[in-house]
Chain A
Amino acid sequence: MTQTTSERYRVKPIRDRRREWPFPLNLYQTAVGRKWVMAVTGIGLLGFVLIHMIGNLHVYEGPAKMHEYAESLKNLGSGILPRSLILWLLRLSLMVMFGLHLHSAITLKEMSRKSSLNASFQSGEKKYEGGREYIAASYASRTMRWTGPIIALFLIYHLADMTWGWWLGNEFVPGDPYHNLYSSLSRIPVAIFYVIANMALAWHIFHGAWSMFQSLGINNPKYNHLRRGFAASFAGLILLGNLSFPIMTQANLIDEEERLCQVSIGDTDEILACLTKQLEDH
Chain B
Amino acid sequence: MSEIITVNLKIWRQEGPEKSGCFEEYTQKITTEASFLEMIDLLNEDLNNQGLEPVAIESDCREGICGTCGVMINGQAHGPRKATTTCQLHMREFSDGDEIVIEPFRAISFPVIRDLVVDRSPFDQIIESGGYISVNTGAASDANLTPVPKEAADQAFDAAACIGCGACVAACPNSAAQLFTSAKLAHMASLPQGQPERWKRTETMVETMEEFFGSCTNHGECHEACPKEINLDFIAFMNRDYMKAKVKNRALSGQR
Please measure, in the bound complex, the distance between the C-alpha atom of A142 and the C-alpha atom of B218, giving whole angstroms.
10
Chain B hits for A258, CB < 8 A: none
Min Cβ gap A50→B in Å is 22
- Residues of A close to B215: CB separation below 8 A: 31, 34-35, 108-109, 111-112
Complex Cα distance A11/B75, Å?
25
CA distance A190 to B71 in the complex (A): 49
| A63 nearest CB across to chain B (Å) | 43
Distance in Å: Cβ of A130 to nearest Cβ of chain B: 4
B211 touches A141 (CB 8 A): no
Q: How far is the CA of A222 from the CA of B20 in the complex (A)?
A: 50
Q: Report which residue of B18, B101, B107, B108 has the largest number of chain A beta carbons within 10 angstroms of its beta carbon.
A: B108
Chain B residues near A144: list those with CB within 8 A: 217
Interface range for A: 35 or more
B239 engages A128 (CB within 8 Å):
no
A contacts, CB < 8 Å to B: 6, 9-11, 13-17, 23-24, 26-27, 30-36, 108-109, 111-116, 118-122, 127-138, 141-142, 144, 207, 210-211, 213-219, 221, 224
- Which of A26, A112, A131, A214 sits near B218, CB closer than 8 Å? A214
Interface string of B222-252 (1 = CB under 8 A from A): 0111000000110111111111001100000
Q: Which residues of A contact B12 (CB under 8 A)?
A: 120, 129-130
Judge whether B121 and A11 touch: CB under 8 Å. yes
Would A141 and B218 count as touching, CB distance under 8 A?
Answer: yes
A24: chain B residues within 8 A (beta carbon): 246
Complex contact A115–B242 (CB within 8 A): no
- List, sorted by A's number, 9 A–B pairs whose CB atoms are closer than 8 Å: A9-B121, A14-B212, A16-B211, A113-B214, A116-B214, A121-B18, A135-B221, A136-B221, A211-B217
In the complex, how many angstroms separate the beta carbon of A272 from the nearest chain B beta carbon?
47
Knowing that A108-B217, A136-B219 are A-B contacts, what are 7 other residue pairs whose CB atoms are under 8 Å apart, sorted by A's residue number? A11-B122, A24-B246, A30-B207, A121-B14, A122-B21, A137-B220, A218-B236
B206: nearest chain-A partner, CB-CB: A32
A119: chain B residues within 8 A (beta carbon) = 106-108, 110, 175
Q: Are B221 and A137 in contact (CB under 8 A)?
A: yes
State A137–B173 Cα separation when bound (angstroms).
9
- In the complex, what residues of A have CB within 8 A of residue B72's CB? 128, 130
Which residues on A sit within 8 Å (CB–CB) of B239? 32, 35-36, 214-217
Instruction: Give every chain B residue within 8 A of A121 (Cβ-Cβ).
Output: 14, 17-21, 112
Given A6-B124, A116-B108, A136-B223, are A130 and B23 also a contact pair (CB < 8 Å)? Answer: yes
Q: A24: shortest Cβ distance to chain B, in Å?
A: 8
Please report the C-alpha to C-alpha distance between residue A214 and residue B179 in the assembled complex, in whole angstroms: 12
B120 closest partner in A (C-beta)? A11
Interface residues of B in 29-79 (CB under 8 A from A): 72, 74-76
Q: How far is the CB of A219 from chain B (nearest CB, A)?
A: 4
State A121–B110 Cα separation when bound (angstroms): 11
In the bound complex, what is the Cα–Cα distance between A113 and B108 (angstroms)?
A: 10
> Would you call B106 and A120 a contact (CB within 8 A)?
yes
* Closest chain B CB from A106 CB (angstroms): 11
Contact A128 B112 (CB under 8 A): no
Cα of A111 to Cα of B173 in the assembled complex, Å: 12
Taking A9-B121, A131-B101, A136-B224 as contacts, is the C-beta distance between A36 and B243 under 8 angstroms? Answer: yes
CB–CB A13/B212 < 8 A: yes
- State the B residues within 8 Å of A (CB): 10, 12, 14, 17-23, 72, 74-76, 101-103, 106-112, 119, 121-122, 124-125, 172-176, 206-207, 210-221, 223-225, 232-233, 235-243, 246-247
Query: What residues on A are CB-neighbors of B122 within 8 Å?
Result: 11
The CA of A131 and the CA of B102, in the complex, are separated in Å by 10
Q: Which residue of A lies closest to B18 (CB)?
A: A121
User: Contacting A26 at CB < 8 Å: which of B74, B213, B246?
Assistant: B246
How far apart are the CA atoms of A210 and B218 in the complex, in Å? 9
| Chain B residues with CB under 8 A of A115 | 107-109, 174-176, 212-214
A30 proximity list for chain B (CB < 8 A): 206-207, 210, 242
Let me know if B242 and A112 touch, CB within 8 A: no
- The 10 closest A-B CB pairs, nearest first, are A217-B240, A112-B214, A112-B174, A116-B175, A130-B101, A115-B214, A136-B220, A13-B211, A133-B75, A137-B219
A32 pairs with B210, CB closer than 8 A: yes
Residues of chain B within 8 A (CB-CB) of A221 are: 233
> Shortest CB–CB separation between residue B56 and chain A, in angstroms?
15
A16 and B109 alpha carbons, distance in the complex (Å): 14
Q: Are A10 and B121 in contact (CB under 8 A)?
A: yes
In contact, B75 and A215 (Cβ under 8 angstroms): no
Query: Is there an interface contact between B206 and A112, defined as CB atoms closer than 8 Å?
Result: no
Q: Return B251 CB to nearest CB of chain A, in Å.
A: 15
With CB as the reference atom, state the residue of chain B lying closest to A31.
Answer: B215
Q: A115-B175, A130-B72, A137-B221 are in contact. Are A14 and B236 (CB under 8 A)?
A: no
Q: Considering only CB atoms, which chain B residue lies closest to A111 in the complex? A: B215
Alpha-carbon distance between A210 and B219 when the two chains are bound, in angstroms: 11
State whether B214 touches A130 (Cβ < 8 A): no
- Residues of chain A within 8 A of B102, CB atoms compared: 130
